[in-house]
Structure 1
Amino acid sequence: MSHSYTVFCILLLAAFIGAAGCLGIGFGDVTYDGEALHVEVESSRNVTDAVLQVTLTEIGGFEQRQLFSEATYIDLAVGTNEYTVPVELAPGTYRIYLYLFIGDERGASVIRDLEV
């Protein structure tokens, strides 16, 4: 393999990696205000008809108990998007599983712990 071909392949790979970061979608902060969860979703592009799934479990001792799971259609704009999930939580420790689906693909997922 020639040296210039190798350099070209490395530059092409770097361009693909850089472009992949520009198309990112991910979760920001998740907070609770006493009445609802507030979920931030960061997006670098507009997306319509994505699905946000929120699963909430209560953690006690050495076990988890699922409180609810909810999936909602959402639209994403470029930048920070905030979605509200009404829920009443007693003081305790919770684990939140967040999934974002775009079409048939999982766009992002994260697990967050929450202390109320």
Structure 2
Amino acid sequence: MDEGVSGEPAEHRFSRGMSARYTGIMLLMAALAVLAASAGCLATAIGEVTYDGEALQVAVENSGEPVENAVLQVKIMEVDLFEQQKVFSQARHINLDSGENNYSIEVDLQPGTYRAFLNIFIGDERGASVIRDLEVAV
């Protein structure tokens, strides 16, 4: 029988080492499962974003409790070849009811290609964030 420095058979050292590794892996998997489950707790999502010729129309889904005084931040960049130039920026307080919410942000966009950056802040935390490409036709 092969005995190491510790005086115990090699197969016992191996099984004890595997047991510790197995326990560590199981703890890691449990932690990841908890993180994955809690990641789905975000209750706010920005849906469709369109431009109707006079205003940006923003749909927001709130699957949680109603929220008062959230902040909707909108920044619109005009995209021209490899450059972007800010053409609009606004932040305003909104109330989020449970379910679908629709907001209209008046903005004058000329025909062209744009990128809209939208964020919703609830308290000190970002509740949702998206980037949407917009094409304004002639």
Q: Any conservation in 2 of the 1:35–1:86 contact (CA below 8 Å)?
A: yes
The runs of 4+ residues in structure 1 deviating greater than 3 Å are 12-20
Question: Which is higher, the Rg of structure 1 or of structure 2?
Answer: 2
The residue that corresponds to 2:85 in the other structure is 65
Unaligned runs of 5+ in 1: none
The residue that corresponds to 1:25 in the other structure is 44
Letter of the structure 1 residue corresponding to residue 94 of structure 2:
I
Report the count of equivalent residues: 112
The residue that corresponds to 1:35 in the other structure is 54
Residue 21 of structure 1: how far off its partner (Å)? 2.5
Map residues 1-116 of structure 1 onto 2, 5 A cutoff. 10=30, 17-18=36-37, 20-45=39-64, 46-116=66-136
Greater fraction of residues in strand: 1
Letter of the structure 1 residue corresponding to residue 49 of structure 2:
V
Specify which structure has the bigger relative contact order, considering alpha-carbon pairs within 8 angstroms and separated by 6 or more residues.
Answer: 1
Instruction: Give the whole-Å Cα distance in 1 for the aligned partners of 2:79 and 2:32.
Output: 43
After TM superposition, the score normalised by the length of structure 1 is: 0.83
Q: Deviations over 1:17-48 (max 9, x none)?
A: 44652542111000111110001111112111
Letter of the structure 2 residue corresponding to residue 25 of structure 1:
T
Greater fraction of residues in helix: 2
Unaligned runs of 5+ in 2: 1-19
Instruction: Quote the RMSD (CA, aligned, Å).
Output: 2.2
Q: Any conservation in 2 of the 1:22–1:44 contact (CA below 8 Å)?
A: no
Instruction: Give the whole-Å Cα distance in 2 for the aligned partners of 1:78 and 1:18.
Output: 21
After TM superposition, the score normalised by the length of structure 2 is: 0.70
Percent of aligned pairs with the same amino acid: 55
Instruction: Give the whole-Å Cα distance in 1 for the aligned partners of 2:67 and 2:38.
Output: 17
